[in-house]
Amino acid sequence: MRCSARRRSSTSCSRSARTTSPAGSSKPCPSTSRRSSPPRRHIRSEGGTAMSTPTLKDEIIEKHGQNALDLVLTVYLNFYYSELEIIDLCARWIPRREDLREKSYLLHHASDEVVHARLFKEGVERLGLVWDEFDHDKYRIDDIDQRFRRLFESDDEIEVLIGLNLYAEGVLAMEELHQLGRNKPEYFPEFARIEREERRHMGFGLTVAKRLLDEDEDTRRRGIEYCKWYSEHLENYLGGELSQTISWAIGQGFVEADYIPRTRARFDETMSKLGLVEV
Ligand SMILES: [Fe+2]
Ligand SMILES: [Fe+2]
C-alpha cells in the first residue's frame, strides 16, 4: 500500500522549498531546483557547432524568476504523488463495494489517475528536467500526505468520498487546475483536459455519497461533521501558510485575484449538492 507520508521523510529544506500545490504550500527554496541540472536543447549552427537553446525551465526563470519554477514544480510533483495515492485508495475500496456500477466507478477513476500521473510527469520533463535527477521531496507538501493518511486509515466510506472525491478533487484540485490551465496554458497545457476528468471523479463521489446519506441518518450526521472538518481545513490551508504564495501567484498572473473566495464558493457549491452545507 502506498502512502507518500510513509514513503518519504521530510528534509530540513523541504518546507522552505515549497511554493504552491494542489492548492497549496509555503515559501520557495530557490536553491533546490537550481541544484538539478537541466538538459538544454542542442541545435547545430550552420558551421556545425553545437549550440544550446533555452529550455522552458530557463524561460520561466527569465520571465518570472526562480520562485515561478519552484511553484510550477511544486504543482506538478504534488499532483503526481497525489495521483499515486488516489490509485491506491480506489483499489482499497473496490473489494468493499457490492454494487457493480459503483465498483466500475473506482476502476474508471483509478485508470484516469494513471493517465494523469503520466501527464504530470511529462509536464516536468517538458520543462527540460530529467525526472529522476532532482530531489522531489523538497517540493512535497506535508498537509497533502497527512490528508491521504487520514483517508487511508478510515473505514468510513462517506469520509473517503467527502475527503477525496469532493474536497481534494472537486474543490482544491479543480480550482487549481482550472485557473492554472486557463492563465498559464504554456506551462500547464494538459490541465483543461485533466480538469474535465476530475469533474467525472467528483460526479462518481456525489452519486455514491448521495446513496449512502439517503440510506442512513447516522451517515448523514457523520457527513456533516466531516464537512465541518474540511471547511475548517480550507480556511487554515488557504488563509494560513498558503496566503503568501497565493498572493505571489496572483501578482504573477498564475491565478486570479479572487482565488481564495472562488475556492470557498466551490466548496459551498460542492458540499451543498449533498445537503451538507446551506448556501
Ligand atoms: Fe487526476
Ligand atoms: Fe481525480
Domain that holds residue 130: 4-272
Cell of 35: 541544484
| pLDDT at 43 exceeding the cut of 50 | no
pLDDT in tens, 102-156: 999 999 999 999 999 999 999 999 999 999 999 999 999 999 999 999 999 999 9
52-56, 224-228, 257-261: which range is least confident on average?
A: 52-56
**What is the pLDDT at residue 184?**
98
pLDDT in tens, 11-31: 333 333 344 444 333 333 333
> 62 Cβ partners below 8 Å, 6+ apart?
54
pLDDT in tens, 155-172: 999 999 999 999 999 999
Angle formed by the axes of helices 259-272 and 217-239, to 10°? 180
pLDDT band at 243 (very low <50, low <70, confident <90, very high): confident
Query: What residues sit around ligand 2, an ion, with C-beta below 5 angstroms?
Result: 169, 198, 201
pLDDT in tens, 212-240: 999 999 999 999 999 999 999 999 998 88
Q: What is the pTM of this model?
A: 0.84
**Greatest extent of the chain over all pairs of C-alpha atoms, in Å:** 78
C-alpha of residue 169 to centroid of ligand 1, in Å: 8
pLDDT band at 50 (very low <50, low <70, confident <90, very high): low
Cell of 102: 459503483
Q: How many domains does the chain have?
A: 1
The mean pLDDT of the chain is 86
**What is the pLDDT at residue 3?**
34
C-alpha of residue 219 to centroid of ligand 1, in Å: 27
**What is the pLDDT at residue 228?**
97
Q: Is residue 126 part of a domain?
A: yes
**Ligand positioned closest to the Cα atom of 202:** 2
Q: Is residue 167 part of a domain?
A: yes
Cα angle for residues 114, 83, 115 (degrees, 5° grid): 25
pLDDT band at 51 (very low <50, low <70, confident <90, very high): low
C-alpha of residue 203 to centroid of ligand 1, in Å: 13
| pLDDT at 179 exceeding the cut of 70 | yes
C-alpha 222/C-alpha 226 separation (Å) is 6
- How many residues does this entry show for the chain? 279
| pLDDT at 45 exceeding the cut of 60 | no
pLDDT band at 271 (very low <50, low <70, confident <90, very high): very high
Nearest to 246 by CA among 51, 98, 25: 25
Residue spans of beta strands (DSSP E) within 37-195: 41-44, 50-53
Q: Is residue 120 part of a domain?
A: yes
**Ligand positioned closest to the Cα atom of 199:** 2
Q: Is residue 278 part of a domain?
A: no
pLDDT band at 193 (very low <50, low <70, confident <90, very high): very high
What is the distance in angstroms between the CA of the first residue and the CA of the last residue of the chain?
Answer: 38
| pLDDT at 53 exceeding the cut of 80 | yes
C-alpha of residue 112 to centroid of ligand 1, in Å: 6
What's the CATH number where 38 sits? 1.20.1260.10
Q: Is residue 277 part of a domain?
A: no
User: Cell 448521495 maps to which residue?
Assistant: 210
C-alpha 256/C-alpha 244 separation (Å) is 14
C-alpha of residue 197 to centroid of ligand 1, in Å: 7
